[in-house]
Amino acid sequence: MTVIVANDTPPAIRGLLKRWFIEPRPNVFVGSVNARTRNKTLDYIRRNGPGLGLLVIYDDDSAQGFAVESSGDPKRRPARRCGLELIAESWDEESEPPC
């Protein structure tokens, strides 16, 4: 499964995403696509939606069972702490919490 959370998706990109994903809430897309389709779709979005903030969560063989990626300037950023993928609502570059 893949979940894409985007900031202010343009109509052309939103239409492309609706080919493979459902949109349960505005700018949130959920679907089951293979890795190749996911990567090609994300490459297209990054090329044609400059500055579009994306947060992508997808199945992975990690201990949590998923991986998190971001591009552009998403409102929430992934943070890896003590081997766990977390989502940071606010960001402080200098603080590194202990494990």
Better-scored residue on pLDDT, 67 or 28: 28
71 part of a folded domain:
yes
Within a domain: 95: no
pLDDT tens figures, 19-54 = 999 999 999 999 999 999 999 999 999 888 878 888
Comparison of pLDDT for 53 and 90, the residue scoring more: 53
Residue 63 has what DSSP assignment? S
Whether 97 is in a domain gets the answer: no
Q: How many domains does the chain have?
A: 1
pLDDT band at 67 (very low <50, low <70, confident <90, very high): confident
Cβ 80 vs Cβ 24: under 8 Å: no
Domain extent at residue 31: 2-88
Burial letters for 25-37: b for 16+ Cβ neighbours within 10 Å, e otherwise?
A: eebebebebeeee
Residue 94 lies in a domain: no
Q: Report the CATH number that the domain containing residue 79 is assigned in CATH.
A: 3.30.70.240
Residue 82 lies in a domain: yes
Kind and range of the H or E element at 25? strand 22-25
pTM of the predicted protein model = 0.77
pLDDT for residue 7: 86
Q: Is 63 domain-assigned?
A: yes
